[in-house]
Copies of this chain bind each other. A is one copy, B any other.
Amino acid sequence: MSAAPKTIAIVGSGALGSYYGAKLARQGADVRFLMRADLEAVRRDGLKVREKGEEWHVQGQAFGSVAEIGPVDLVVIGLKTTANADLERLIPPLLHEKTLLLTLQNGLGNEEILAQRWGAERVLGGLCFVCLNRVAPGVIEHYGHGTLSLGEFGRAPMERTQAIGAMFSNAGVETQVVENLITERWRKLVWNIPFNGLSIATGGRTCDQLLADEGVNAQVRALMLETIAAAGALGHAIPQNFADYQIERTYSMGAYKPSSMIDWQLGRAVEVESIWGEPWRQGNAAGVALPRLELLYRLLQQLTQRS
């Protein structure tokens, strides 16, 4: 399939899935949202998006089950990775022979799950750099950014990648098609592993607080260098000075709260396996010493256990 997909299902219609789905629907695409908590509100009032000082609205096709949605050309997956076990039940009813699966989820290992179960040739992934919040059922607030980095799983971009990228671009989402998706995931992890992790493990420090303490600042850098070493051993070359760049950039973010810290403070599930567990497992299997990442991962498992 080289043309853009004609029918799209959004699985995991939290802030992320709802926002990108609404953008596509507004552009005229046939977008079908799988909804749970917001189902009634969206059926009644549609989806509302507030961005750049204005509010816009799409009616949105909201469904209560994947069986009602049926097979589509593209499934966009916005589930929290902590709910990945649900994919086994959610994906099959949405598949025809050529259905593509695009995961916009965080961290590492999500494309692998889809590829192992439903075939690597179907799988694409995207990294979202966007600040969103679901402020009420069916109401999404977009605070800034919104870039989507889109790529194939385990191969270079193809015609279909460009077509899907163009579809998002036309819908007003700044999209870049990337040569190596997993390299991009590792680059994002270089920031997420230390900042999301240490913000929780220190009991709730914001980015500026983590950087202000010399000893913790050194742990941020050391965790970044471990992540870069793991990525390198797995074939994803990232220069060491990328750590300096990421730290520099973070100073300007002030009292920023990483998303995992917000999840943790609100008692929501934290994506421990995809952000820390899977990077540690893959790097460890490649023979890289990752002592700080391993310790942080094990602490986060304990700190986020509901018990």
- Mark A residues whose CB is within 8 Å of B: 198, 201-203, 205, 213, 215-216, 218-219, 222, 291-292, 294-299, 301-303
Cβ distance A291 to chain B, nearest Cβ, rounded Å: 4
- CA of A298 to CA of B291, assembled, Å: 15
Known: A291-B291, A292-B291, A292-B292. A298 touches B216 (CB 8 A): yes
Complex CA gap A303/B202 in Å reads: 6
Contact present for B297 and A215 (CB under 8 Å): yes
A303 partner residues in chain B, CB cutoff 8 A: 202-203
Report the minimum CB–CB distance from A304 to chain B (whole Å). Answer: 9
How near does chain B come to A195, taking the closest CB pair, in angstroms?
14
A229 and B227 alpha carbons, distance in the complex (Å): 25
Q: CB < 8 Å: which of B218, B297, B302 contacts A202?
A: B302
**A295 touches which of B213, B296, B301, B302 (Cβ 8 Å):** B296
- Find the B residue at minimum CB distance from A280: B215
A219-B298 contact, Cβ under 8 Å, with A203-B303, A303-B203: yes
Task: Using known A-B contacts A298-B215, A298-B216, A302-B213, determine if residue A291 contacts B222 with beta carbons closer than 8 Å.
Answer: yes
Known: A291-B292, A292-B291, A295-B295. A302 touches B219 (CB 8 A): no
List residues of chain B with CB within 8 A of the CB of A222: 291, 294-295
Q: How far does the Cβ of A267 sit from chain B's closest Cβ, in whole Å?
A: 14
**A197 → chain B closest CB, angstroms:** 10
Nearest to A277 among chain B residues (CB) is B215
Q: Within the complex, what minimum Cβ distance (angstroms) separates A290 from chain B?
A: 9
Instruction: Tell me how far the C-beta of A279 lies from the nearest C-beta in chain B, rounded to whole angstroms.
Output: 14
Chain A to chain B contacts (Cβ below 8 Å), 23 pairs: A201-B201, A202-B299, A202-B303, A203-B302, A203-B303, A205-B302, A213-B302, A215-B297, A215-B298, A215-B301, A216-B298, A216-B301, A218-B294, A218-B298, A219-B294, A219-B298, A222-B295, A291-B291, A291-B292, A291-B295, A292-B294, A292-B295, A295-B295
A305 to B177, CA, bound (A): 45
Closest chain-B Cβ to A256's Cβ sits at a distance in Å of 17
The 4 closest A-B pairs by CB, nearest first: A202-B302, A291-B291, A215-B298, A292-B295
CA distance A296 to B295 in the complex (A): 8
Give the Cβ gap from A226 to chain B, nearest Cβ, in Å: 8
CA gap between A213 and B297 in the complex, in Å: 13
Contact residues in B for A301 (Cβ distance below 8 Å): 213, 215-216
